[in-house]
């Protein structure tokens, strides 16, 4: 490339095409390049290739710019769109001659954001938003209706596409200043509110879809007359539990599952196996009636 073809620093601006390529590269490949050395670092570097190609003219400049993105990077993939947008803005500023923006500064921003955004994204998206959508989809799926899965597929893809596009665009426009919006006090308050909402939704979902009853009875001896018929005196455990707290067995199951997953760190497949063993033994011993109990 001749000197006459090189652009001045002031002429180096990102095009919409380059930004769109970077957006879709991260959208489709944020996890595909995952490895244990740099985690999402390879995917992040790949998402920055369109940015670097659009800003720099020589192969040496492009190579040096991509060296910036070798270190480890790992965050919740949807919230990661904000970091990609912010980094694109910083890279553009560096290419235009801003001496305050250095490779170390860019990596410092990436490192400082990936942790808080990972925690926020994990609690808001799989921890809150997904259960809300699933609870609605389960309700629509009653009777085998196809509306439930269709609703989830469409609602998830449309809303998340709009959400990540907003994060990417806002991150690019505000640059490093957008970090205050993402990890500031207001953002933390929103996160805590959404976590509380998610807990309420999960609790309501458990109370609606988990029903456990027991057929266990205790023979008290003797008989009594009911509607002109003589019946044995028996204590029905389920009636007693309903008098204390309706749905008590379902609540205990949910709390037990939480204890196994959160406190003992047992894997979900093993928890399911434990529940299967409990159900089998419960039916075998007469504590559960297969015709009356659903899981």
Nearest alpha-carbon partner for 125 in 77, 83, 169 = 77
Domain co-membership, 190 together with 231: no
Q: Are residues 173 and 263 in the same domain?
A: no
Together in a domain, 184 and 271: no
**What CA–CA distance (Å, rounded) separates 68 from 91?**
10
Give me the domain span that covers residue 96: 9-207
Identify whether residues 152 and 243 lie together within a single domain: no
Residue indicated by tokens 């659009």: 54
Number of C-alpha atoms within 13 angstroms, CB side, residue 100? 4
Q: Are residues 188 and 269 in the same domain?
A: no
The pTM score is 0.68
Q: How many domains, in total, are found in the chain? A: 2
Is there a contact between 115 and 123 (Cβ–Cβ < 8 Å)? no
Cα 129 to Cα 127: distance, rounded to the nearest angstrom: 6
Task: Tell whether 104 and 74 lie within a shared domain.
Answer: yes
Cβ atoms of 119 and 215 closer than 8 Å? no
Statement to judge: residues 13 and 148 lie in one domain:
yes
Last residue of a domain, one of 207, 228, 261: 207
In a domain, 238, yes or no: yes
pLDDT in tens, the chain (295 residues): 444 466 776 678 899 999 999 999 999 999 888 888 889 999 999 999 999 999 998 999 999 999 999 889 999 999 999 999 999 999 999 998 888 889 988 888 888 888 888 888 887 888 788 888 888 898 888 788 899 999 999 999 999 999 999 999 999 988 867 666 655 566 666 667 656 766 776 677 677 777 888 888 877 766 666 666 776 677 778 888 888 888 888 888 888 998 998 899 899 899 999 999 998 998 888 888 765 444 4
250 neighbors 208 (Cβ within 8 angstroms): no
Q: Are 131 and 92 within one domain?
A: yes
Other beta carbons within 10 angstroms of residue 58's beta carbon come to 11
**Cβ atoms 111, 65 nearer than 8 A:** no
The pLDDT tens digits of the residues spanning 176-229 come to: 676 666 555 666 666 676 567 667 766 776 777 778 888 888 777 666 666 667
Same domain assignment for residues 199 and 229:
no
Same domain, 198 and 263: no
Give the bridge partners for 226, in sequence order.
229
């Amino acid at each position: 490339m001749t000197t006459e073809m090189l652009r001045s620093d002031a002429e180096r601006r990102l095009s919409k095409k380059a930004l769109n390529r970077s957006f879709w590269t991260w959208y489709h490949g944020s996890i595909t390049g995952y490895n244990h050395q740099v985690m999402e670092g390879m995917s992040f570097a790949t998402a920055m290739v369109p940015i670097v190609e659009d800003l720099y003219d020589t192969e040496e400049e492009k190579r040096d710019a991509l060296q910036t993105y070798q270190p480890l990077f790992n965050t919740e993939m949807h919230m990661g769109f904000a970091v990609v947008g912010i980094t694109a803005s910083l890279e553009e500023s560096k290419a235009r001659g801003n001496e305050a923006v250095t490779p170390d500064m860019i990596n410092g921003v990436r490192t400082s954001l990936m942790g808080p955004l990972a925690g926020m994204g994990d609690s808001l998206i799989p921890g809150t938003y997904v259960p809300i959508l699933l609870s609605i989809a389960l309700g629509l799926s009653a009777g085998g209706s196809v509306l439930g899965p269709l609703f989830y597929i469409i609602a998830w893809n449309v809303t998340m596409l709009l959400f990540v596009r907003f994060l990417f665009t806002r991150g690019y426009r505000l640059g490093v200043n957008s970090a205050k919006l993402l990890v500031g006090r207001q953002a933390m308050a929103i996160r805590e509110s959404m976590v509380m909402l998610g807990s309420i939704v999960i609790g309501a979902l458990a109370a609606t879809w988990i029903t456990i009853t027991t057929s266990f009875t205790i023979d008290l001896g003797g008989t009594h007359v009911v509607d002109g018929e003589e019946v044995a005196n028996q204590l029905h455990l389920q009636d007693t539990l309903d008098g204390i707290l309706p749905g008590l067995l379902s609540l205990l199951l949910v709390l037990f599952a939480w204890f196994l997953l959160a406190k003992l760190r047992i894997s979900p497949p093993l928890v399911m196996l434990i529940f299967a063993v409990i159900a089998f033994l419960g039916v075998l011993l007469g504590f559960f009636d297969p015709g009356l109990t659903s899981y």
